[in-house]
Copies of this chain bind each other. A is one copy, B any other.
Amino acid sequence: MKSEEVARLAGVSRSTVSRVINNYSNVPDETREKVMKVVREHNYMPNTSARVLAGKGTDTIGLFIFNVHDENNPGHIYGNSYFGPFVNAVVDRCNHNGYSVLIHTLYKEADCLRIPAAFSEKRMDGAILIGTEKNEAIDQLIARADHPLAIVDYNPRAVSLSASPQARIITVNSGDDAGIADCVDYLAGLGHCRIGFITGRLLTWSAERRLRGFKACMKGRSLHVAPQWMLSGDFSRQKTLVAMQAMLVAGDLPTALIASNDDMALVAIDTLRNAGLRVPEDISVIGYDDGLAAPLVRPALTTVRMPFLEMAGSAVEGLVALLADEEPAIHTVTLPVRLIVRESCAPPS
């Protein structure tokens, strides 16, 4: 079924069919109804490629997910398990706004070239990037951006500095430093002063900010940041395990540990427990994300709640707004986080 047949059956021209389909105003109700009747009866839907080629937008948004392969557990590609709900929320909001979403997974820097490629091929009108790791390809993308971009978890200043003059970009972050500050405040309030930290993937803006926030906050409270309690977790279970074991072997332990995500916190708890230590009696542990498992594990995990849905919403709405307007614009939004106190922390013994 094509518009020509609809036109014939309705006794009008293809132009008119097009006007009705696109809901243009200069069509009398009678004509419109005549056409719609045929459309409904035959379930006509316009060929997307033809529309796009004729000048319409693709009405599709590209979603690019940076994924971390856990070398030790190749099956477990959702290294960033928080992507699940996030992806879902993005798809949902896009669909509600009338956009389809083309989803891609990226594993290495070279994969980033698929973003400009998808624009070149005219497969999408704009793109959302999540879990972005800083690298050359992304810098180039931002520097040459000629299509709207929503970048989740990225340094807004880096964008402002390097974006092309006609760029339309929105960065979406959450209050990573405030979240970590809440953790430190809470632990300090409990009486802890020997606080360790497990870092995330530092190429990631959130991981970097959590680390920086930790150092700044500790400094603000004149608390010593002991190098032997700074563990390199890299958002990886395996790396966290190794770092934890090394610390346990060394024998000098903090009384509390803040992990840059839930997954690493869970591994930390596990390792501690296997070493015969009790959580939270012997050592307190805080996570970050408030993922699906956090309320279910025992002790239930005290953690910082990431506003995934709100971030997804901001990214989509922001992108849709950029799509609707030709004006260059660089926006940034930072959403608040909240410490969710459960059972994994206690005063130092």
Chain A residues in contact with chain B, CB under 8 A? Answer: 43-50, 52-53, 58, 60, 63, 65, 67, 75-78, 81, 83-85, 87-89, 91-92, 95, 100-105, 117-118, 120-123, 266-267, 270, 273, 292-293, 296-298, 308-309
Contacts and interface: CB of A to CB of B under 8 A. Distances in A.
A48 B122 contact: yes
Given A49-B49, A60-B102, A76-B85, 9 more contacts: A47-B122, A49-B50, A49-B122, A53-B53, A77-B89, A91-B103, A95-B104, A95-B105, A267-B296
A100 B91 CA distance: 15
Contacts of A308: 75
This protein's copies in its complex:
2
Nearest to A1: B120
B60 A53 contact: no
24 contacts: A45-B117, A47-B53, A48-B49, A49-B50, A49-B52, A75-B85, A75-B308, A77-B88, A77-B89, A77-B92, A81-B84, A81-B292, A84-B84, A87-B87, A91-B104, A92-B105, A95-B104, A101-B102, A101-B104, A102-B103, A266-B296, A270-B296, A273-B298, A298-B298
A121 B46 contact: yes
Nearest to A273: B298
Nearest to A294: B293
A88 B78 contact: yes
Contact of A43 (B63, B120, B123): B120
A309 B74 CA distance: 10
B105 A102 contact: no
Contacts of A49: 48-50, 52-53, 58, 122
Nearest to A79: B88
Nearest to A113: B43
A78 B292 contact: yes
Contacts of A118: 100
B120 A45 contact: yes
Which of A78, A296, A298 is the most central at the interface, judged by chain B CB atoms within 10 Å of its CB?
A296
Contact of A123 (B44, B81, B91, B100): B100
